Amino acid sequence: MAVRTRRLTGTGLSEKAARRLTITVLLAPAILVILLLFMGGLVTGFLRSLGYFPLIGLNDFNFDAYSIIFTDNGFIRSFILTFHIAFTSTLIASILAVASAMLLRPAFRGKRFVQFIFSLNLTIPHLVGAVGVLYLFSGSGLVSRLATGAGLIDSPAGFPAMVNDPWAIGIIIQYVWKEIPFIGVIVLAILLSVGEDYESVARSLGANRWQAFRNVTLPLIMPGVVSASVIVFAFTFGAFEIPWLLGSTFPKALPVLAFESYTDVDLAARPQAMAMAMVIAVMSSLMILAYMKVSRRYVRS
- Give the residues lining the site for another protein (CB under 8 A): 197-198, 200-208, 211, 215-216, 219-220, 301
Please say which residue, 9 or 295, places its beta carbon nearer to another protein: 295
Least Å distance, CB 296 to another protein, is 15
Least Å distance, CB 273 to another protein, is 45
Please say which residue, 19 or 203, places its beta carbon nearer to another protein: 203
d(CA 57, CA 59): 6
Least Å distance, CB 202 to another protein, is 7
Least Å distance, CB 229 to another protein, is 19
Please say which residue, 221 or 276, places its beta carbon nearer to another protein: 221
d(CA 275, CA 254): 11
d(CA 159, CA 147): 8
Please say which residue, 140 or 211, places its beta carbon nearer to another protein: 211
Please say which residue, 202 or 276, places its beta carbon nearer to another protein: 202
CB atoms under 10 Å from CB of 211, counted, come to 13
Question: Is the separation of the CB atoms in 104 and 117 below 8 Å?
Answer: no
Least Å distance, CB 212 to another protein, is 8
Kindly report each contact of residues 164-168 with a partner whose C-beta sits within 8 Å and lies 24 or more positions away, as own/partner.
Answer: 164/138, 164/246, 164/247, 164/248, 164/249, 165/248, 166/248, 166/251, 168/81, 168/84, 168/85, 168/243, 168/246, 168/247, 168/248, 168/253
d(CA 97, CA 176): 9
Question: Is the separation of the CB atoms in 228 and 95 below 8 Å?
Answer: no
Please say which residue, 158 or 219, places its beta carbon nearer to another protein: 219
d(CA 77, CA 256): 13
The helix, strand and coil proportions of the chain, stated in percent and rounded to the nearest 5, come to 75, 0, 20
Least Å distance, CB 221 to another protein, is 11
Buried b (16+ CB within 10 A) or exposed e, 62-91: eebbbeebeeeeebeebbebbeebbebbbe
Least Å distance, CB 287 to another protein, is 23
Please say which residue, 41 or 219, places its beta carbon nearer to another protein: 219
Least Å distance, CB 209 to another protein, is 8
Residue type, 6: R
Please say which residue, 123 or 300, places its beta carbon nearer to another protein: 300
